[in-house]
Amino acid sequence: MSDAPVLFDELPAASGKIGRATLSVPATLNSLTLEMVDRLQEQLEAWRRDDDIALVFIEGAGEKAFCAGGDVQALHASATATPGGPCDYAEAFFTREYRMNYTLHTYDKPIVCWGHGIVMGGGLGVMAGCSHRVVTEKTRIAMPEVTIALFPDVGGPWFLNHMPGSAGLFLALTGASINAADAIYCGIADRFIAAGYEADVLESLLQQDWQAQAPANHALLRGVLRRFAARSEEALPPGQVEPHLAAINTLCDGDDIHQVIDNIVALDSDDPWLGKARDSLAHGSKLAALWIHRQLASNRHASLREVFQAEIQLATNIVRHPEFAEGVRALLIDKDRNPAWQYAASRDVPPAVLEAFFTAPWASNPLADL
């Protein structure tokens, strides 16, 4: 058995082949490293050029997770190695991860993502970029970056701003966990298929006569997934976002972001889902909450290319700042869950401090060529 962090194989179909990529580090919930990002990028480019490959199927090894995000501890090590200065590994990781995400979004051939189990952070970035996104009854999605002083990146402004009402802003500020029904309602997944059907779905895909033209293959794939989705309808769990949308919209209706934060943190509710979201923001970085809001607002009408270019600028500035290192330390390194945030309240953040995160730290954006 290969110990490579991403496994690739090509499955012969009735006509053509399926390229399969398996994120294969179950011990870390398939969290992405720079090596994994580079391997995915290289193989996606190779399969794009290979006329025999009709579609790509991406999955995660193990039953717990598709991908729990980026390897944040490696990013922390990079950030603390050169405090305040360039963080070579972290900055290379974000640059090449976003390039890989952009490749997924702009791929002409069909890509199926089997989003089973935990799908967080960078894992959601992979899933969101795929053309056919499948979720199961075990799918659990979140972008909890406010708790470590990061931000929902990997295309976050693109898909969060397209969610119904204020759902995207609420999920970004609170890191609230959502399931398969929520993912479909919010537009970050396309099909719900019960987890037990994965082998059957693959077998059905292998029986197809794949064509030379990508549009025809998208149609064939939709037909296969539609049939299994129809068989799975009764297993779909109840969602949280749609029934709470009126409350979410009210909480996010403030004169400014400070009032929105106040609304959420002051929420008096016995509802467990809303309560957990409230507590996450209350204990999260208020500086991060401000840059999360600004990143979403300033990229509301941005193109996908502009979104990733804005993300690499913000991510670079964040990993050079001590708030991120402190957030990761408290949650994932020392695990004391008691971060010493620089500001107790969002109104304490000087405007010039926030502005610095949205100022280019280099002469040329490393994703200028997207």
Helix (H, G, I), strand (E, B) or coil at 212: coil
Question: How is the beta sheet containing 140-142 ordered, strand by strand?
Answer: 65-67, 118-120, 140-142
Query: Which of 147, 123, 128, 158 minimizes the C-alpha distance to 296?
Result: 158
Q: What mean pLDDT comes out for the span 147-171?
A: 97
Q: What mean pLDDT comes out for the span 21-30?
A: 97
How many other CB atoms sit within 10 Å of the CB of residue 147? 22
pLDDT band at 85; cut points 50, 70, 90: confident
Domain residues of the chain, as ranges?
6-356
Contacts of 143 (CB under 8 A, 6+ apart): 120, 121, 124, 152, 156, 160, 171, 172, 175
What digits encode the pLDDT tens for the residues 165-188? 999 999 999 999 999 999 999 999
What digits encode the pLDDT tens for the residues 104-140? 999 999 999 999 999 999 999 999 999 999 999 999 9
pLDDT band at 83; cut points 50, 70, 90: confident
Q: Which two tokens stand for residue 141?
A: 């999605």
pLDDT at 93: 97
Place of tokens 């952009």: 102
6-356 CATH pick, 2.70.98.10, 3.30.460.80, 3.40.50.970, 3.90.226.10: 3.90.226.10
> Which pairing describes strands 111-115 and 118-120: parallel, antiparallel, or unpaired?
unpaired
pLDDT at 1: 53
Is residue 9 over pLDDT 60? yes
CB of 96 closer than 8 Å to CB of 34? yes
Residue 297 and residue 299: Cα distance in Å, rounded? 5
Strand partners, 163: none
How many other CB atoms sit within 10 Å of the CB of residue 351? 8
What's the Cα-to-Cα distance from 294 to each of 245, 259, 260, 343, rounded to whole Å? 22, 14, 13, 17
What pTM was computed for the model? Answer: 0.96
CB of 333 closer than 8 Å to CB of 73? yes
What digits encode the pLDDT tens for the residues 204-218? 999 999 999 999 999
DSSP one-letter string for 56-72: EEEEESSSSEEE--B-H
The mean-pLDDT minimum among 69-78, 126-135, 232-241 falls in 69-78
Q: Which 8-state DSSP code applies to residue 14?
A: S
Angle between helices 286-298 and 304-319 (to 10 degrees): 160
